[in-house]
């Protein structure tokens, strides 16, 4: 699984370090990654263009950064990552991302967040 993931997203396992603002963020980011990993692995199996798969991964990276920012600003590291994900992803998209500027960027981001939400809520794909 790791080989397929790093072939698509070479820095995937570095995401927690890249999201980190304070030391506490790293451990939480590693827990988030456990929930993102099955989805990224799933993406590698889909008959989609590599560019499309990469877009979904990039958007998930942005969403993960926003989740880390939320828990860090509120110093709420006790919330279970799965609960945080389910509270912030849905059929309307993902957490607000302050790094997006255009309608196309927001549409792409929300599309990826919906795809992730459908994956993690589908029976049999519950991670942890």
| Local confidence pLDDT in tens for the 128 residues of the chain | 899 999 999 999 999 999 999 999 999 999 999 999 999 999 999 999 999 999 999 999 999 999 999 999 999 999 999 999 999 999 999 999 999 999 999 999 999 999 999 999 995 454 44
Write down the pLDDT at residue 88.
98
pTM for the model stands at: 0.92
Pick from 22, 37, 124: nearest CA to 81:
37
* Cα 99 to Cα 19, 24, 106, 109, 113, distances in angstroms: 13, 23, 10, 11, 15
Q: Which two tokens stand for residue 73?
A: 């600003």
Query: Is there a contact between 116 and 93 (Cβ–Cβ < 8 Å)?
Result: no
């Amino acid at each position: 699984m790791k080989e397929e993931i790093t072939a698509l997203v070479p820095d995937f396992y570095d995401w927690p370090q890249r999201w980190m603002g304070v030391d506490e963020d790293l451990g939480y980011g590693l827990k988030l990654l456990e929930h993102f990993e099955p989805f990224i692995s799933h993406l590698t199996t889909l008959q989609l263009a590599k560019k499309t798969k990469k877009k979904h991964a990039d958007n998930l990276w942005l969403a993960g950064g926003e989740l880390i920012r939320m828990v860090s600003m509120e110093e709420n590291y006790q919330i279970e990552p799965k609960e945080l994900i389910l509270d912030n992803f849905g059929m309307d998209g993902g957490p607000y991302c302050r790094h997006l500027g255009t309608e196309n960027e927001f549409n792409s981001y929300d599309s990826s967040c919906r795809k992730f939400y459908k994956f993690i809520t589908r029976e049999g794909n519950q991670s942890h």
